[in-house]
Amino acid sequence: MAEEAKAVETVEVAPQTKKSKPKKEATKPQWEIKDRHYYLLGKQPLTYTIPSKHSAKRPLLWFDPERNEQREIRYATNQNSPLKDEQSGEVTLGHIMFKDGHLYVPKQYQNLQKLLSIYHPFLGTRYMEHDAVIEAQDEVETIELELEALNLATSMDIDMAEAIVRVETGSAVSSMSSKEIKRDLLLFAKRNPKLFIDLANDENVQLRNFAIKAKELNIIKLSQDQRIFTWGSNDRKLMTVPFDENPYSAFAAYLQTDEGVEVYKSIEKKLT
């Protein structure tokens, strides 16, 4: 009996394409209507006038990334825009003058604010706009850094404290009492917290202090040209300072070598 051939139906399914999500267009930062305050960077004379219109001597141009071209800017008191090609009719040019390093621009003067906050080439190099949020953030970071330095100073042992204070006061630290060292340490931490933290984390600070104390007590000697360390008792050479390197930093590095460890132990016995 012949087998009946069964027809197999195949159903073709069209490939499904994933729907791409519409791209979000980048939104430009919103311009806030408010009073604005600007201040000069560096020297602050009684009065200082910045360019307010384009000239061959003092170009006043702003590069427009959308048009890919330079656009001339000028401060016209009777126009809404600081861009010359957006101004029309007769214009009344104005001056932009800082007094005692500051310039206050009320919110009514939007064209001047935009010229100063967006377009003027002196922004960021000769003057800045006051930003309370950024300044508060900077102040918080400074205070936190100061607290970190003061906490380190408070918990620091006297040997490390002496090593760090020596960076500031030099050999005078040798005649200071422990309380005087602690006082100067805290003042140093408060005055220059970043440098203090860097020194506190520098493993060679104590070794440099160790070398300086040994030199002051004539346990070791340093030649007048500050190139050679020798023993104070017999003038036997210990090491040559590499060219253009701080002698005590070089000696601190030497004390961490195999040969230097033995020298360190010998000096330590004489210091105690």
Which among 202, 221, 240 is the end of a domain?
202
Report which residue type is found at 178: S
The answer to whether residues 56 and 76 belong to one domain is yes
Within a domain: 46: yes
Ranges assigned E (strand) in 106-236: 127-129, 220-222, 228-231
Boundaries of domain holding 163: 144-202
The answer to whether residues 76 and 110 belong to one domain is yes
Percentage of the chain with pLDDT > 70?
89
Residue 22 in this model has a pLDDT that exceeds 70: no
Which residue is it, tokens 């005590």? 248
Which among 202, 217, 232 is the end of a domain?
202
- Give the Cβ contact number of residue 241 at 10 Å: 20
The answer to whether residues 51 and 124 belong to one domain is yes
Q: Which residues contact 64 (CB under 8 A, 6 or more apart)?
A: 70, 71
Q: How confident is the model over 12-39, as a mean pLDDT?
A: 67
**Residue from 108, 110, 120, 107 nearest 53 by CA:** 120
CA angle 146, 150, 154 (to 5 degrees): 175
Residue 13 pLDDT = 53
The answer to whether residues 184 and 252 belong to one domain is no
CA angle 242, 246, 247 (to 5 degrees): 70
Could you report the per-residue pLDDT of 218-271, keeping only the tens digit for each?
Answer: 999 999 999 999 999 999 999 999 988 888 889 999 999 999 999 999 999 888
Within a domain: 249: yes
Which among 202, 226, 252 is the end of a domain?
202
Residue 258: φ, ψ to 5°:
-60, -45
| d(C-alpha 196, C-alpha 154), whole Å | 12
Ranges assigned E (strand) in 58-116: 61-64, 69-72, 96-99, 102-105
Residue 132 in this model has a pLDDT that exceeds 90: no
Rg (CA), the chain: 35
Give the residues across from 104 on adjacent strands. 37
Q: Lowest-confidence range among 8-17, 103-112, 184-193?
A: 8-17
Residue 78 pLDDT = 94
The answer to whether residues 110 and 179 belong to one domain is no
pTM of the model: 0.44
**Residue from 21, 16, 8, 119 nearest 70 by CA:** 119
Within a domain: 238: yes
Residue 29 pLDDT = 56
The answer to whether residues 47 and 103 belong to one domain is yes
The answer to whether residues 47 and 125 belong to one domain is yes
End-to-end Cα distance, the chain: 116
The answer to whether residues 96 and 148 belong to one domain is no
Domain count, the chain: 3
Residue 220 pLDDT = 94
The answer to whether residues 101 and 161 belong to one domain is no
Within a domain: 59: yes
The answer to whether residues 41 and 122 belong to one domain is yes
| d(C-alpha 255, C-alpha 266), whole Å | 11
The answer to whether residues 117 and 44 belong to one domain is yes
Residue 240 pLDDT = 94
Residue 200 pLDDT = 87
| d(C-alpha 111, C-alpha 76), whole Å | 8
Q: Lowest-confidence range among 21-30, 130-139, 226-235, 248-257?
A: 21-30
